[in-house]
Amino acid sequence: MTDLSNFPITARWPAADPTRIQLYSLPTPNGVKAAIMLEETGLAYEPHLVDFATNDQKSDAFVSLNPNGKIPAMIDPDGPGGQPLALFESGAILLYLAEKTGKFLGEGPADRWHATQWLMFQMGGVGPMFGQLGFFNKFAGKDWEDKRPLGRYVDEAKRLLGVMDAVLAGKTWFLGEAYSIADISMIGWVNNLITFYEARDLVGFDDFPNVGAWLERALARPAVQRGLKIPARAWT
């Protein structure tokens, strides 16, 4: 029987089946990366809701797994050498699950690095910039009299969308015909930009038709539809 008792987080969020991957998350743009990837790979897992409303992500239990206090985080009971492995940071989780399953890294070393570079593009650009835009457009930042911060992030979001649109011209996915972690990393962020952050018109999203078509294809995938809603509620 797999024993995860050495991980303090499991006292707060007990594992119903400790042989499954334990995912601690919330359906945010970063949180859904891990859920979509797990759904796409078909790996057995249990999602546990980390509730921002009660600052679960800052609790001692959660910080014991991720000292940075951010979702998602996970424990794979069958990690390298058959030993449990704890991971945080959504990009690291995508890379790990891709290597574990041999899926969504394209074909060969060149594709692997191309997928990785787009993952870094998302983590260093798309995520931080779209997130700041959301803050200044929808949350507390919208009440600031100085609109220069919003303007900066709108301009940068448009620039990033332009990069993506040019790369996706004539392609199905970022690697061409191969759906990969590059796509998985960006789905939640682009979708959030035009839905939850209410910035479709603000960034002129319809001026980037290749990105729009890519997002439609991604959202049509059953695993993506499931992953965007996980964890909908706590299992425990």
Say if 16 falls within a structural domain. yes
Stretch 127-151: mean pLDDT, rounded?
95
Q: What percent of the chain has pLDDT over 70?
A: 98
CATH value at residue 23 = 3.40.30.10
- pLDDT range class, residue 233, cuts 50, 70, 90: low
Domain end among 103, 127, 156: 103
Question: What pTM does this model have?
Answer: 0.95
Stretch 132-158: mean pLDDT, rounded?
95
Does 28 share its domain with 97? yes
**Each residue of 58-112: pLDDT tens digit?**
999 999 999 999 999 999 999 999 999 999 999 999 999 999 999 999 999 999 9
Domain end among 81, 103, 125: 103
Domain count, the chain: 2
Contacts of 177 (CB under 8 A, 6+ apart): 171
Does 23 share its domain with 91? yes
Does 123 share its domain with 215? yes
Segments forming the whole domain that contains residue 163: 108-221
Does 139 share its domain with 215? yes
Does 23 share its domain with 61? yes
Report whether pLDDT(236) > 50: no
- pLDDT range class, residue 1, cuts 50, 70, 90: low
